[in-house]
Structure 1
Amino acid sequence: MLGAAIFMIIQVFCDLQLPTITSDMINRGVAIGNTAYIWRSGSLMLLLAFIGVLAAAGNVFFASTQAQQLGAKLRAELFRKVLYFGNFEMDHLGSSSLITRTTNDVLQIQNVTVMILRMMIQAPIMLVGAGIMAFISERKLTVVFLVSIPVLMIAIVSIMYFAVPLFKSLQKRIDGINLVFREGLTGVRVIRAFRQDHFEQERFKNVNRAYTQTAVKAFSLVSLMFPVMILILNMTNIGIIWIGGKLIATSRMEVGNLVSFMTYAAMILFSFMMLSMIFVFIPRAQAAAVRINEVLDTDFSITEIADPEKLPVQKSHTLEFKKVAFRYDHAENQALQDVNFHLRSGQTLAILGGTGSGKSTLVNLLPRLYDLETGQILLDGKEIAKCSQRDLRNAISFVQQKAVLFKGTVRSNLQVGKVTATDQEMWHALEIAQAKDFVKETQKGLDAVVEQNGANFSGGQKQRLAIARALIKPAAVYVFDDSFSALDFKTDAQLRQAMKTDPQTQKSIVIIVAQRIATVTQADQILVLDAGRVVGLGTHQQLKAGNQTYQEIMRSQLREEEL
């Protein structure tokens, strides 16, 4: 930034010297026919112009470099911050808005940074310097500025008064476009299936039209500034020539002084215009900065205590829920109430219940994606709220409802679970997850390409790859949140049997959230939820014999003879 300022000062100094040299060349060279003086003055002007060009290039280089580095730093900080957001922060800010803040808002900051390091430095120096030089050149003509500068200021303030609010609203309009466009992209199959393409096109057209209309108004107002500036400059030149002509006619001023004064007048007025342009775009960047700071200053809903406890490294593990209750933010009713159970290594807990009963909420509490309202969750005897989040999540391997794959290869996706995994470990995890066969069928095997969101795999294949990624990670607790829903009954049974006989999962605790009775019958314990309450806890045989909710779920899925 210091380099940008120094080069800009050099550039302005060279620019301010040129009108004075031109004046002297006219007065002492052209007027009396002194060719040698004209050549000397012309050579000096060329030298100053060349130095000015080099200085301008240096200023542009440093200004653009600083702006890009600032943008890179902001994007990195935003991405790092978002990675540590809990579900509450993500729900509050919204993914579409976060994308806008990381891209368009940062771009606004970068653009204004360049403008500050260019125009904000150049305009005040040039304004003061040109004013002083104009006064030195011919003080009698400065009376013209008493009219032109107030008129220019009134025009600039009037334009800014209407344009600034429009520029602030543009950022929110961009949020709206991103939201509709992102929903259209992610939900394109649903849109086609329900033949809602015309509705979505109209929806996008509305937000696009709103943005366009606001942008047209804002930039139309700003574009008025240049013709207004030219008009005032020309009127100023007319006044200067009119007064200067009378002074020249009475031999009270030289022609060269008139020429240099007109140049300085142009510099003064252009300096005002540059400042006004900055003050038009700064509010838009300020709005972007507020939105960026809103992300950077957001307090994490999931925090650690000052001196977190370390989870002990041990061969056997325990997991206990004690009177756990949870309520979503601003919700009237609790999502979970008085949940109690105890598990140890080698045991499998299946969680069963209707839609909205709190199954996913319960397992999301385990890696502290949400914090409890009341109660305790103990892992290996340690309360998870008092443990390091890194240690806690290292001890848990999680497969969420929606199978998420990253663009890359099968190998790179499995390495998300364990970076140092060998090929043998990868094939073993794929074999347990019943994904070995279709991965082997690809020509590249582990190096088979995975498109964005796993678009080149079916739903069942994506789930199995996500399960393999979880199984490759050594963990105390394996959580499968309705992760078998896209599998057929045969594959589901084979996968659960392979997990049951695998030495690694035998030493761990396995939690399976499921919808199907067939998936949970072999579990050591089955937790039945209804509207956030535990209405049953036991084995399949125990619940089948005496739990009404479990029996209703069985009747809804099995025929009479199967019952």
Structure 2
Amino acid sequence: MKGAGTMLKIAKGRVSYLAVIGAVLFMTVQVIANLNLPSLTSDIVNNGVATGDISYIWKTGAKMVAFSLLSIVAAICNVFLAARTSQKLGQNLRSDIYRKVMNFSTDEYNQVETSSLITRTTNDVVQIQNVAIMMLRMMIMAPIMLIGASFLAYSKDHQLTLIFVVSLPLLAIFMGIMLKFAMPLFQAMQTKTDRINRIFREGLTGVRVVRAFRQDQFEQDRFEDANLDYTKNAINVNTILALALPVMTLVMSGTNVAIIWFGAKLIGSQAMQVGNLIAFMTYAVQILMSFMMLSMVLIFIPRAQASAKRIQEVFDLRSTLKIASNPAPLTATNQHDLKFDHVTYRYRNAEQPALTDIDFDAKSGQTVAIIGGTGSGKTSLINLIPRFYDIENGTITLDGHNLTDLSLSELRDNVSLVPQTATLFTGTLRENMQYGKPDATDEEIWHALDIARSRDFVEADPAGLDLHVEQGGGNFSGGQRQRLAIARALVKQSTVYIFDDSFSALDFKTDADLRAALRQDAHIQQSITIIVAQRIATVADADLILVLDNGKLVGKGTHKELLANNTVYQEIVNSQIREEATN
């Protein structure tokens, strides 16, 4: 019941109730038309063939044709509405899941694996679609036909209906046993699909690492294990389902034999007409088929329930970000201020804070550099600015407004972030450059490419800005991808520019030239620039350098000031000098 409630919950608002009502009505018409055919056949045999009344045969035959045509038209309409409703449900579910995932904070992303999200958006939705069309077809047809055929069979001869007292319980017992073994296997299918997707995705994204460590065979074996596990489960499920048809045939055949055996005796004693026996046999088939269809629906529902539960888990994830009910607007100005006031941040369920008592102030035209060892909290700090996470204590303000008082869309419109891993999207270079500003002109794009030192290799290709970008930017080197990602951020023209170790793949000369171009750009001079870096050469000319160690701000100042009085900064400088001397 809980699973059925979950299925109804995710269907609510995503299907047309008129279409559902229409499908039910057309299916009802189809079943009623089908139920009338055996009775008409009985009348033709009893009142037409037996008496030789040809006109009655033609008249009743015409009625049968009319009912058959009505059944066909109703079936077509039902199938159309059922298919349209199920596909629309799938479309709406996929859209809503994708929209929900796109609005996740980073904390929510960390709760569900990417491979599982893909499975839930594709395979799980398909399971819901399949059951939706089954519900609008077989789930409606089966009970109506079962009740109607039972009543009409009883009306033909109540003595023969006693045969169903034996055949239906036998069928029920078999279906119950089949459900007992099939349900757990169906429910396990989705988890095993997740595992295959996860291993396959890891193998594809990490193919270079796999080859570098010569672990090709290990990864193949790992995938084969998951694949074999899924295959065995699927074989077991289908083996159980395959037993349904022969058992159904056996029960139906046995029932028909019993009907003919006892029916013949009734006909011999003139207690039953031949036409009634023919009609009764047809109703018997309809009763057993209806029972079988109902059982098959009950078999597939558990898998759909499991899928519905997995989908609902995504919808139930609540963002940890505080959304302002009446967001304050940012005032258009050339003077900006970003302030961290004793900020502490802790990852979800973490015992120790990732950042503790971070305090600094950055203004327009300033470059703030953040440096520190691995795991010191550099990326965690900059992720707080576009509110990928919300802080635990303290305040972060932009132009005097607490970030929690701003709408997420307006805040992120004013922040350009170049992440550690440069990501480009499939399409043209122009489309990638316009990602943050769809109306950006070619002149603006070329200006950003100039600053990012990317014009040379873009102009070298005859396609220019129409140059095709492969998935993930695979047709560019690591340094080119970084520079293009920087150019894309510059095209956006924001209040705050964040470069998260975005110069790591650049040589020292390109790094220096790019930073010099940034300082000379008129818009950058009115904005706040934050650079996370590992190299002293990258941060040395910053207006303010923040030194992080184990999530704490252990120093802030200029390069000269820190070099004179900050031990951690001195250690970083000395380690890089020794490394350069060794090289």
Q: Settle same-fold status: TM greater than 0.5.
A: yes
- Once the two structures are superposed, residues 82-103 of structure 1 have per-residue CA deviations (whole angstroms, 9 ceiling, x without a partner) of 1110111001012111111111
- Once the two structures are superposed, residues 326-351 of structure 1 have per-residue CA deviations (whole angstroms, 9 ceiling, x without a partner) of 11112222111111111110000111
Q: Distance in 1 between matches of 2:578 and 2:310?
A: 56
Call closer, same or farther: CA 1:318–1:263 in 2, change over 3 Å.
Answer: same
- Two-structure CA RMSD over aligned residues (Å): 1.5
Q: Distance in 2 between matches of 1:92 and 1:294?
A: 11
Aligned to 2:530, which of 501, 511, 520?
511
Corresponding residue number in structure 2 for 1:321: 340
Corresponding residue number in structure 2 for 1:80: 99
Q: Distance in 2 between matches of 1:244 and 1:504?
A: 95
Corresponding residue number in structure 1 for 2:235: 216
Please report how far the alpha carbon of residue 517 of structure 1 lies from its aligned counterpart in structure 2 after TM superposition.
1.1
Q: How does 1:187-266 map to 2 (within 5 A)?
A: 187-266=206-285
Matching of residue 373 in structure 1 with residue 398 in structure 2: no
Matching of residue 453 in structure 1 with residue 472 in structure 2: yes
Q: How does 1:3-14 map to 2 (within 5 A)?
A: 3-14=22-33
Matching of residue 153 in structure 1 with residue 172 in structure 2: yes
In structure 2, give the amino acid aligned to 1:12: V
Q: Distance in 2 between matches of 1:187 and 1:320?
A: 39
Structure 1 gap segments, 5+ residues each = none
Aligned to 1:59, which of 75, 78, 85?
78
8 A Cα contact 2:322 2:390, kept in partner: no
In structure 2, give the amino acid aligned to 1:400: P
- Once the two structures are superposed, residues 101-140 of structure 1 have per-residue CA deviations (whole angstroms, 9 ceiling, x without a partner) of 1111111110001000001111111111111111112222
Please report how far the alpha carbon of residue 147 of structure 1 lies from its aligned counterpart in structure 2 after TM superposition.
0.9
Matching of residue 382 in structure 1 with residue 401 in structure 2: yes
Aligned residues: percent identity? 54
Which SS does the other structure have where 1:472 is aligned? helix
Please report how far the alpha carbon of residue 229 of structure 1 lies from its aligned counterpart in structure 2 after TM superposition.
1.4
Please report how far the alpha carbon of residue 561 of structure 1 lies from its aligned counterpart in structure 2 after TM superposition.
9.3
Please report how far the alpha carbon of residue 306 of structure 1 lies from its aligned counterpart in structure 2 after TM superposition.
2.3
In structure 2, give the amino acid aligned to 1:53: I
Corresponding residue number in structure 1 for 2:450: 431
Corresponding residue number in structure 1 for 2:563: 544
Corresponding residue number in structure 2 for 1:139: 158
Corresponding residue number in structure 2 for 1:42: 61
Please report how far the alpha carbon of residue 560 of structure 1 lies from its aligned counterpart in structure 2 after TM superposition.
9.1
Corresponding residue number in structure 1 for 2:12: none
In structure 2, give the amino acid aligned to 1:203: R
Q: How does 1:291-370 map to 2 (within 5 A)?
A: 291-370=310-389
Q: Distance in 2 between matches of 1:190 and 1:39?
A: 79
- Once the two structures are superposed, residues 213-269 of structure 1 have per-residue CA deviations (whole angstroms, 9 ceiling, x without a partner) of 222222222222222111111111111111101101111111111111011011011
Give aligned pairs, total: 563
- Once the two structures are superposed, residues 411-434 of structure 1 have per-residue CA deviations (whole angstroms, 9 ceiling, x without a partner) of 111111211111110110111111
Call closer, same or farther: CA 1:561–1:388 in 2, change over 3 Å.
Answer: closer
Q: Distance in 1 between matches of 2:157 and 2:539?
A: 95
- Once the two structures are superposed, residues 50-94 of structure 1 have per-residue CA deviations (whole angstroms, 9 ceiling, x without a partner) of 321222111111100001111111111111111110111001012
Aligned to 2:144, which of 110, 117, 125?
125
Corresponding residue number in structure 1 for 2:303: 284
TM-score (norm. length: structure 1): 0.97
- Once the two structures are superposed, residues 149-176 of structure 1 have per-residue CA deviations (whole angstroms, 9 ceiling, x without a partner) of 1111111111111211211111111111
Corresponding residue number in structure 1 for 2:113: 94
- Once the two structures are superposed, residues 165-191 of structure 1 have per-residue CA deviations (whole angstroms, 9 ceiling, x without a partner) of 211111111111111111111111111
- Once the two structures are superposed, residues 378-407 of structure 1 have per-residue CA deviations (whole angstroms, 9 ceiling, x without a partner) of 111111122211121111111111111111
Aligned to 1:469, which of 469, 480, 488?
488
TM-score (norm. length: structure 2): 0.94
Corresponding residue number in structure 2 for 1:71: 90
Q: Distance in 1 between matches of 2:193 and 2:113?
A: 14
Which SS does the other structure have where 2:326 is aligned? coil
